Amino acid sequence: MSGRHQDLVLANARIVLADRVVERGWLAAVDGVIAEFGEGLPPECGEDLHGDLLMPGLVELHTDHLEAHYAPRPKVSWDPVAAVVSFDGQLATSGITTVLDSLRVWPEDGAEEVDGHAKILAHAIAEARSADLLRVDHFLHLRCEVPMPSVVSEATELVGRSDVRLVSLMDHTPGQRQFRDEGKLRDYYRGKRGDFTDAELDAVFRRRLEYQAAYATRNHRQLVDLARDHGKPLASHDDTTLEHVGEAISDRVSLAEFPTTVAAAQALHCAGIRVLMGAPNLVRGCSHAGNVTTAELAKAGVLDVLSSDYMPASLLLAALRLPDAVPGIDPAVAFLSVTKTPAQAVGLDDRGEIAIGKRADLIRVHVRRDVPTVRTVWRCGRRVA
């Protein structure tokens, strides 16, 4: 280290490595890349982190919370670039340095006000990126509702983009997968739009069932082929039965998002498919749809990746609380579910770990009363928050 210019030197930190936590250590980064780290005092004077955690920036694979910034109230649309910048700031202060923004690529009249706006938001992300307005590294995750009539054409317009890192296959038809309990789906839609009447919801559900019967089988095959043709990883969604698992294996998915039963999650994991579950589920101790809990899957040894889903701050909080929720899980292993493992799942092998040669995407975390505060965020060695 001596005699070379150091872009960043950090000292007196609890450093979270992939296999252990160094209780008092230091780290140096050069040109945005981790160059050295060790225990004790650094060879050169560095910024004192006063015993706070120093860990890799979090990697988020599934969050549709951008849509809440773009449509913050019913019938209100925000400036899309400003919405991206607002969301980006929230991600950074939550410790997330890499995100796959989950965009719904299908329109559905009368159900969700942000459906069908994927192209607008994808363009806004690109515009904000080119203007150097972003703290976080943004990629795209195309959420494809398989039964929707236009989902294949909508996905075709976006899937060729270089920033698309994941394509997920979803089916929220009433009475199956996530919403086997139709009442939970009614509650979900009323939470989105408080003015839904029973008659309007009946019409939405009837249309969903008609769409599934008419389009789901054909669309599923075309979407799988589309993702394969463009070399994009696939994710299944809300796998519930062994039949769903078999379909996921046949489709060669690399990630299973939010399986709803222990049996499905175990079968997916045994097949080498990474299992992703909600961090809010872990923090709250339950699924809002009444399905299996994240803690149950962690206890069964089949939890691989955590996702903040609708609450960015939940990602770090869940990783910190996982060892308490599931005795026997080492803290370093818990942190892998929000750093290295999700990065590897989408081919981002240059980040997600404090190791020589990896990107210096780092966060300083202060913990009091079991609640973390992100004090500093570095992306490629440059402080961004």
Q: What is the CATH number of the domain that holds 334?
A: 3.20.20.140
Q: Domain count of the chain? A: 2
Over the chain, what is the mean pLDDT? 91
Q: Do residues 316 and 369 share a domain? A: no
Q: Do residues 193 and 295 share a domain? A: yes
Name the residue type at position 259. P
Q: What is the CATH number of the domain that holds 14?
A: 2.30.40.10
Q: Angle 298-302-305 (CA atoms, 0-180°, nearest 5)?
A: 80
SS3 356: coil
Q: Do residues 112 and 261 share a domain? A: yes
Q: Do residues 113 and 142 share a domain? A: yes
For 230, counting Cβ atoms within 10 Å of its Cβ (0-12 exposed, 13-18 middle, 19+ buried), the class is middle
285 neighbors 278 (Cβ within 8 angstroms): no
Q: Do residues 328 and 380 share a domain? A: no
Q: Is the pLDDT of residue 205 over 60?
A: yes
Q: Is the pLDDT of residue 55 over 80?
A: yes
pLDDT tens digits for range 125-164:
999 999 999 999 999 999 999 999 999 999 999 999 999 9
Place 271 in a pLDDT band, splitting at 50, 70 and 90. Answer: very high
Q: Is the pLDDT of residue 168 over 90?
A: yes
Q: Do residues 233 and 171 share a domain? A: yes
346 neighbors 232 (Cβ within 8 angstroms): no
Q: Is the pLDDT of residue 4 over 60?
A: no
CA 337 and chain centroid, separation: 11
Q: Do residues 214 and 246 share a domain? A: yes
Place 73 in a pLDDT band, splitting at 50, 70 and 90. Answer: confident
Q: Is the pLDDT of residue 3 over 50?
A: no
Q: Do residues 341 and 362 share a domain? A: no
Q: Do residues 282 and 368 share a domain? A: no
Q: Do residues 190 and 277 share a domain? A: yes
Q: Do residues 282 and 270 share a domain? A: yes
Q: Do residues 86 and 197 share a domain? A: yes
pLDDT of res. 315: 98
Domain that holds residue 384: 1-56+353-385
pLDDT of res. 303: 97
